[in-house]
Structure 1
Amino acid sequence: MCGIAGIFNVKGEAVSVNTVQRMTDSIKHRGPDSEGIWTDSNVGFGHRRLAIIDLSPHGHQPMQNDSGELIITYNGEVYNFMNLRIELEALGYKFHSNTDTEVILKSYELWGKECVHKFNGMFAFAIWNKRTKEIFIARDRYGIKPLYYYYKNGLFAFASEIKALLKHPEINVKVCIPALNEYFSFQNVFSELTLFENIKILPAASALSIRSDDVNSFSVEQYWDYNFTNDHTISEEEYIEELERLFEQAVNRQLISDVEIGSYLSGGMDSGSVTSIAAKNFRNLKTFTCGFDLSSASGLELGFDERLKAEFLSNIYKTEHYEIVLKAGDMERVMSELIWHLEDLRIGQSYPNFYVARLASKFVKVILSGSGGDELFAGYPWRYYRAVVNDDSEHYIEKYYRYWQRLIPDSYKPRFFSPEIYPDILSYQCKDVFRGVLKNKLKKEITPEEYVNHSLYFEAKTFLHGILVVEDKLSMAHSLETRVPFLDNDLVDFAMKVPVTHKLKNLEEVIRINENVPGPKTERFFEQNSDGKNILRKALAKYVPESYTSGLKQGFSAPDASWFKGESNDYIKDILFDKRARIYDYIQPEMAKDLMNEHFSGKTNRRLLIWSLLCFEWWNKIFDPA
């Protein structure tokens, strides 16, 4: 795991070595072990190394192939690299290191751009081909590793983080209004845009290429996509047996490392099962949990601290367990540093992730995460059930879009955004962005099961992607590599075939109520419950106690709804009720304050909106201080 950056002057101007150096230096936290700079006329690559596999200088990057014709700068881990190496060696290729970097480089040498189909892992890399004068950039299937780029007036620049791009003298900060519209609609950005105008994120499972002296050769192509189906040719018992095998294989694949590995351990079955398998391979495996002081919490938030459950699992697996306990006020202390690292604002409260990653980084270089299981195996049934029976595809879009407007619905936007930017807001319809995610999936005749699969597809493409981007930024802020065993290619391919009826146990009842009973009879299914991930619960029962596989779904969140009304209230008002706050260059203060006051009075839970307003205010202070 590392940090990469580069410049390609398509029109032929020489690259500034100093600029590549500044870009690379800005992401030193991603790779404190070593650095490398390579330039050749109009191309320059930078690399910061976090040494995980083959700690010797043989893993130094940027790396060239034997002929010097190909140069790579790479971030990630390809877990099947040893199998690919054996295949390449059988074809006569010689290796000078034990790194997956060299395997990727020689895979490209043999298979060209099709090499991406060979890789099982997480990656973002750029390869320069001296012979064809072409740069080729690719990102892994799921978007575990981020990659951003800027392309304007013949300047192409890329990096693992946006802050590196901002070190180029021709790249300036300006708010991208369409991205701002998406962010305050979805608390995410579903398109390839970012809050930085002209800076985009390369979509997951995509490859980009551009040739020298041809500004029109720029292209981005998707090489893979999710495809959730319903394969009923296999019995549930066979599905469970195969799921157990693939899950163990996935975790064991991701244990390859020349440095110590640890594991996050919450009170849930996903991280618990990952830890169970890892603990069999490593004596005294180190595990890490983030808990919360609930002395000022209320309501549902009283159940947010999962330390006791994690401690119980740690005792079973005999791990060396560490915890951090957050209290009201800890968010305030870290906001500036957090937003500098996060930069690309997405999803909800993430400061607990920042703190627990910092804790883990004091002991290990690599951490295992339980992310991905919910999105693959339908862990959020209260979402899917809102749009499971529909008149047609457009009806489904309407209902699901209504749910995913997490912050500001369209009807509020004329009063929320400032008059100066509202015309640009109005010209960029977020509903079209939402529909665009599903553009190749919808048809006239769709069953309830297919609608659920469309929801799984949508959330894997958007919500999971947002989680992965945030998780990468906040772990790499502390030079910590996060691995995601649930996103093993074989396991994902299998999960997408499992019928919805094996994932959701209440689906048939919800369909029956929706179709036959008038009135709000389905409301109880819209609340968090023990439905969802049904087949995964059965498969993971061999790794964690029954109470963990049958319990209610519990997200990883601090009791911010309570804290925002209590101990953190003065901090929020000092920043967001200040008439000089930068957010009011884009947002109408009266509307913003009215919505926040709804939360403070207890009328409506607006914790997600308050968090997003805080993030955007700090974003402006840090990246656009003028």
Structure 2
Amino acid sequence: MCGISGIIGQKANKENITKMTKALYHRGNDAIQQWIEDDVALGHNRLSIIDLQEASNQPFQKENSHWVLVYNGEIYNYIELRNELIQKGCTFTTQSDTEVLYQAFLQWGEACLERFNGMFAFAFWNTETKELLAARDRFGVKPFYYYHDEENFIFASEIKAIRKLIKTNLNEKLLANYLAFGSYGMLQESFFEEINQLPGGHFIKLKKSDIEIKQWYDFVSRTNKKILELQYITENEAKEAYKLLLHDSIQLRFRSDVPVGFTLSGGVDSSLLLALVNQREEAKDIKAFTFYTNDERYDELPWVEQMVTKTKTQLEKVLLTADEVKERHQQLSKIQDEPYGGVPTIAYAKVFETMAKQGIKVILDGQGMDEAWAGYDYYQNNSNSTIQGQTNASPFKTNVLVESFLAKAEKPTYPKPFDDDLLNKQYRDLFYTKITRALRFNDRVSMASTTELREPFLDYRLVEYAFSLPTKMKIRNNQGKYLLREILSDYSKNLAFAPKRPLQTPQREWLAEDLSAMVENAIISIKKSNLAVLFDTQQLQKEWKKYQQGEQDSSFHIWQWISVSKLGFNEK
């Protein structure tokens, strides 16, 4: 887990690449190195996880090779690939997955991507042909942002590093979509003009000033094929096949030369993660972490405590109070660069910080099961909602936006490549809404504490398999994740888990009461900034008063204002 940065063009020099690596210091400071030649500068911030030796530092270049690599992430199956490459005559000087990625690229070219099981964003520069090839993992776990004009191509793991070198305004259309529809953007967009993302499962080629972007991971064709293969599978066959994949995914993600821990909530996904971790020989030495707020209406702590009592797992309980939210938000808004998911994200940030202070560098989390197994309530009705537990009332307040700004909003439409409505909703959430934004939030909060977050349930083999199963194995008796619950019972019939709930924190109540000054300061900040021309500030104030007086079906709009107020417009 690291931070990468690079400049191809006139801005490539020691001073500029240093600005970028300094901006990414939190992503890794075990080694910070640069490679500069002609009009190219590459930077790397290393968080050492596998092969801690200096020889594995980056930028990485093998002797007598024209390729230079900067890479962020983990190739979990690097040992198997290393052995295969040795059989083909490759020699290795390190034990790192970095060198495996490098040699795999030299051996197979772009085709190496299909062989990787991992999370990654990397860039190869060829010193002879003067071309760049960069790629991002299947689901976009690891970030890759870039800026391109006639004179420069600049890329980095985070927006803030690019903004050290260029001036850019907010993307007002995306900002309008966020405030009107809750959209965090399409695959290639960011909240800043001219700063783009490389979508997950894509690679980019740059030669001179020509850019070519291609998709390398075709989820739709792969799952369409698998749907046909699994249409007549029995429940027992599906359970056993999925369990084999689960064990292998966990095994791969425990590969580390540093301590590993994991997060817990009270649900099915966490229960399964706990059960799988508990089967490992080193289980007694692996610690679980969970957050709580001392509010029994929302806390999942009672269920978590029941779970760990059964397994005898060490549990660290991390308390988040309203008093610390304001300061933590100040820090996290800078880390995130863009709007993020509210108090729950802040709570996770505190969990990761606590883990880091105890020397844990690798964290396992249960992200991805709801989307693969149809776990959200809106999968079972005709709703186009992307919010669990949401009523028919809109959680957004478009009346606080001036008409000219609101006119820029365009409700996002997502591809529907499948004949089945359920599959299209799952596909949307995996690649356009739920997972993409959760991965961005989680990457930033884990890296803020210089820790590496791994998502074993997002192993592409697990996602493809669950996604492709017949609907009756996902949803039964008005409950999602049916077969997954059956699988959990095979590991432990005693593991308790809470029902699926849309809210994890008392964000609604805190914003109205304990954090009301924080909301008011955000509104004042909007009024005093260039953002004021986008808002009807009288309506903004009216909606805030309504909220304080009890109209609290949703707090999304309140958090939106808080997030937007931090987006960096200069005060008048």
After TM superposition, is the score higher than 0.5?
Answer: yes
**Do the aligned residues in 2 keep the contact of 1:148 with 1:199 (CA within 8 Å)?**
yes
CA distance in 2, matches of 1:404, 1:537: 20
CA distance in 2, matches of 1:160, 1:37: 15
Aligned runs of 1:166-185 on 2, under 5 Å? 166-168=163-165, 171-184=166-179, 185=181
**Do the aligned residues in 1 keep the contact of 2:307 with 2:495 (CA within 8 Å)?**
no
Question: 2:51 is matched with which residue?
Answer: 54
Match of 2:379 among 384, 388, 403: 384
**Do the aligned residues in 1 keep the contact of 2:522 with 2:561 (CA within 8 Å)?**
no
**Do the aligned residues in 2 keep the contact of 1:402 with 1:409 (CA within 8 Å)?**
no
CA positional deviation for 1:255: 0.2
Q: Deviations over 1:334-365 (max 9, x none)?
A: 11101000112244442111111111111200
Aligned runs of 1:355-434 on 2, under 5 Å? 355-363=350-358, 364-380=360-376, 382-387=377-382, 399=384, 413=398, 415-419=399-403, 421-422=404-405, 425-427=406-408, 429-430=410-411, 434=412
**Do the aligned residues in 1 keep the contact of 2:395 with 2:554 (CA within 8 Å)?**
no
**Do the aligned residues in 1 keep the contact of 2:75 with 2:118 (CA within 8 Å)?**
yes
Q: CA separation of 1:50/1:68 partners in 2, compared to 1, >3 Å: closer, same or farther?
A: same
CA positional deviation for 1:276: 2.8
Question: 1:43 is matched with which residue?
Answer: 40
Query: What is the one-letter code of the residue matched to 2:445?
Result: L
Question: 2:305 is matched with which residue?
Answer: 311
CA positional deviation for 1:193: 1.4
Match of 2:285, SS?
Answer: coil
Say if 2:198 is the partner of 1:202: yes
Unaligned runs of 5+ in 2: none
CA distance in 1, matches of 2:392, 2:70: 38
Q: Deviations over 1:558-585 (max 9, x none)?
A: 1111112222223312332564255423
**Do the aligned residues in 1 keep the contact of 2:338 with 2:567 (CA within 8 Å)?**
no
CA distance in 2, matches of 1:563, 1:581: 25
Match of 2:319 among 322, 325, 349: 325
Match of 1:183, SS?
Answer: helix
CA positional deviation for 1:236: 1.2
Match of 1:456 among 409, 420, 426: 426
Say if 2:95 is the partner of 1:111: no
CA distance in 2, matches of 1:535, 1:583: 48
Higher mean alpha-carbon deviation, 226-235 vs 604-613, is at 226-235
Unaligned runs of 5+ in 1: 295-301, 389-398, 508-530
Question: 1:480 is matched with which residue?
Answer: 451
CA distance in 1, matches of 2:547, 2:218: 39
Match of 1:76, SS?
Answer: strand
CA distance in 2, matches of 1:143, 1:207: 11
CA distance in 1, matches of 2:38, 2:19: 18
Q: CA separation of 1:476/1:556 partners in 2, compared to 1, >3 Å: closer, same or farther?
A: farther
Question: 2:7 is matched with which residue?
Answer: 7
TM-score by length of 1: 0.84
TM-score by length of 2: 0.92
Aligned runs of 1:476-625 on 2, under 5 Å? 476-506=447-477, 531-546=479-494, 548=496, 551-555=498-502, 557-577=504-524, 579-580=527-528, 583-620=531-568, 624=570
Query: What is the one-letter code of the residue matched to 1:134?
Result: E
Q: Deviations over 1:156-186 (max 9, x none)?
A: 1000011111121xx1131111211222222
Q: Deviations over 1:374-422 (max 9, x none)?
A: 1111110x2123327xxxxxxxxxx558999999969964x43335x52
Match of 2:83 among 83, 86, 90: 86
Match of 2:113, SS?
Answer: helix
CA positional deviation for 1:97: 0.5
CA distance in 2, matches of 1:14, 1:584: 34
**Do the aligned residues in 2 keep the contact of 1:250 with 1:486 (CA within 8 Å)?**
yes
CA positional deviation for 1:556: 6.3
Match of 1:73, SS?
Answer: strand
Match of 1:107, SS?
Answer: helix
CA distance in 2, matches of 1:42, 1:543: 56
Higher mean alpha-carbon deviation, 238-247 vs 479-488, is at 238-247
CA distance in 1, matches of 2:391, 2:88: 53
Query: What is the one-letter code of the residue matched to 2:97?
Result: D
Q: Deviations over 1:534-557 (max 9, x none)?
A: 1111112233545635x4113562
**Do the aligned residues in 2 keep the contact of 1:598 with 1:605 (CA within 8 Å)?**
no
Say if 2:335 is the partner of 1:341: yes
% same residue: 29
- How many residue pairs match? The answer is 559
CA distance in 1, matches of 2:89, 2:387: 57
CA positional deviation for 1:315: 2.9
CA distance in 1, matches of 2:395, 2:512: 26
CA positional deviation for 1:330: 2.2
Query: What is the one-letter code of the residue matched to 1:273?
Result: L
Query: What is the one-letter code of the residue matched to 1:426?
Result: A
Aligned runs of 1:236-275 on 2, under 5 Å? 236-275=235-274
Question: 1:192 is matched with which residue?
Answer: 188
Match of 2:98, SS?
Answer: helix
The RMSD of aligned alpha carbons is 2.5
Say if 2:70 is the partner of 1:73: yes
Match of 1:110, SS?
Answer: helix
